[in-house]
Structure 1
Amino acid sequence: MLLHELLDFFGRAICHQLEERSLQISGETLSVCARDTGIYIGIFSSLTYLHFTKRKSKITIPTIKVSFFLLLLMVPMMVDGLGSYLHFFESDNIKRLVSGTSFGFVLPYFLYPLLSLKSLENDSKPVVKGIRDLIVPMILSVFISVVVYWGMVPYYVINSFIIVTIIIWFSMFASGLFQWVHSLRLRRIISTFIGLCLLIFLSNLHLWLL
């Protein structure tokens, strides 16, 4: 199907797509591996929370204490990835999903404030003001991970959700290059276009290297 091929095309931009390292829903393999699935579940959870609760606030990156805690959450994926790559131990998809979710969960706490021009103002506050700013998106990420792992929703819904999150994330990176564009709508259009172009390039490059 066209949709299946399109999702696989964008998934190939950031993932090796090894079937044995990917989750399956109703007999269909997701377009990215379990670890990447977790990463983008984590990104979606904290990014969604920050967007709806902080988008009108003057925020900057977390304090040193909170940053240290967040960075600790990235360690499990590093250990799991490096350990399995060096054959110290055998990983599995649930470990890849959990460690990936923990890793991805952290990233928006640093990128989202940096993409806001308000982060440069003197009265900007750290993006994490209290435990709620960590617990709520963490619960959301756990919930989505369970739903995905057990295949509680159709394959195309889950797969499309992951790929759309990837596109949004790459578009956010691109938006950092166009802060000088004052029109928010125009900046979003340009950033989405650049993000899509980058993913298309990476997908074709991956195919060419195989």
Structure 2
Amino acid sequence: MLHELLHFFGRAICHQLEERSLLVSGEALAVCARDTGIYIGIFSTFIYLHFTKRKQCITIPTVKISFFLLLLLIPLIIDGLGSYSHFFGSNNLRRLLTGISFGLVLPYFIYPLLSKRSLDYESKSVVSSSIDFLVPLLVSVFLGGLFYLGQPSHLILDCFIAFSIIGWFGLLASFLFQFVHSRRFKSFFSIIVSLALLSILSMVHEWILSLTL
């Protein structure tokens, strides 16, 4: 039942093609290698920012740093377009790495929008030193290595993926509840919306697949 539930949430955002997914103990993970990389990257950067920047008044990266970060989105775009257009082949390692590169960038632009604003303090860039980029990068590479090597079990890895998907959609949903002052209630409502939206997307995906069979 847990296996089905985790793949249910994975189906909300992924095609779940087995040949494009990492296999652990003969089981395909809940999302493809590319989406696995994306959510590893998102998780690594978000966790770092949450524990190091949540009490600071921060803003999105400077123009120079933003340009560098946006360049990291390009490998996935090239690999995805080339693969789906059959212009060139790809493999799961490349999908995983380009996914990490893509996902790593996103929280740098989303998380600062949730930062507390204060007239007493000047906002700082979310990336104020190389450490703010290198730590999430190293965490992503470490987690990516565990996933690629299939360590630990596929259920633990799928739980990580599902947690990251629900958390990311919850973070995006939190923008709907800016009027809620209690952080606890805001988090609760955001997760409920995230679960509801992912459930709808998963059921729609399953319905569309049933029509094509």
- Report the TM range for the smaller structure's normalisation: over 0.9
Which amino acid in structure 2 is aligned with residue 185 of structure 1?
Answer: R
TM-score (norm 1): 0.97
1:152-204: CA deviations, max 9, x gaps? 21111111001110000000000011011011101000000000000001001
- Listed as ranges, the matches of 1:111-150 within 5 Å are 111-118=110-117, 123-150=122-149
Cα distance in structure 2, aligned partners of 1:168 and 1:99: 21
Q: Give the aligned CA root-mean-square deviation in angstroms.
A: 1.3
Cα distance in structure 2, aligned partners of 1:70 and 1:119: 26
> Unpaired segments of 5 or more residues in structure 2?
none
Which amino acid in structure 1 is aligned with residue 103 of structure 2?
Answer: G
- Are the equivalent residues in 2 in contact too, given 1:15–1:32 (CA < 8 A)? yes
Secondary structure in structure 2 of the residue aligned to 1:99: helix
- In 2 relative to 1, CA 160–39 (structure 1 residues): closer, same or farther, beyond 3 Å? same
- Are the equivalent residues in 2 in contact too, given 1:7–1:160 (CA < 8 A)? yes
Residue aligning to 1:79: 78
Count how many residue pairs are aligned between Structure 1 and Structure 2. 209
- Are the equivalent residues in 2 in contact too, given 1:113–1:119 (CA < 8 A)? no
- In 2 relative to 1, CA 204–121 (structure 1 residues): closer, same or farther, beyond 3 Å? farther
Residue aligning to 2:35: 36
1:55-106: CA deviations, max 9, x gaps? 0000000000000000011100000000111111100100000000000000
> Unpaired segments of 5 or more residues in structure 1?
none
Residue aligning to 2:17: 18
- Are the equivalent residues in 2 in contact too, given 1:62–1:109 (CA < 8 A)? yes
- Are the equivalent residues in 2 in contact too, given 1:58–1:121 (CA < 8 A)? no
- Listed as ranges, the matches of 1:1-210 within 5 Å are 2-118=1-117, 123-210=122-209
Q: Percent identity?
A: 60
Secondary structure in structure 2 of the residue aligned to 1:107: helix
